[in-house]
Structure 1
Amino acid sequence: MTARVTLYSKPGCHLCDDARAVIDRVCADLGESYEEISILSAPELQERYAEEIPVTLVDGRQHDFWRVDEGRLRAALAGRPGL
């Protein structure tokens, strides 16, 4: 099963901790999975996302950065991205 949600983060990031809590709650409620990738794992990720973490992707497309809006994430996973 491929995760629909990807969280790009880095250790020690308090915004990443907040985003992870929201993503974990929403995915658990909706029966979805997510993966978390540290931007420190690859130089290209550090270059791309250094100033925007946490960055959330849904179905491979950037959804949010800095903060995760729970309602928007739920809507995107339910197929209602305009909400």
Structure 2
Amino acid sequence: MYIARVPNRKSKPTILLRESYREGSKVRTRTLANLTSWAPERIEALDRALKGEFDNCSGDMISGAIFGVLFALKQLADQVGIT
């Protein structure tokens, strides 16, 4: 998978999540998602993740109990509308 930036004439480029595969001896591509409406930071993070730049992340691990509490609080905040 990779991110492709397709230029448009008078508007901003279309940003697509694509996949390459082989059909017999021909290489084909399929579009998996249109990412044009995403924030540039999210697109950059996805691009870095697809390239494997987060594989050796040295960040602190969150324990299961704390993660569960934080996840529940995040879900409640999303339901209430707090960002």
For this structure pair, what is the TM-score category when the shorter chain's length is used for normalisation?
Answer: under 0.3
Going by fraction, where is strand more abundant, 1 or 2?
2
TM score, norm. by length of structure 2: 0.23
Q: For the pair shown, which has the larger CA radius of gyration, 1 or 2?
A: 2
Q: Which has the higher contact order (CA 8 A, sep 6+)?
A: 1
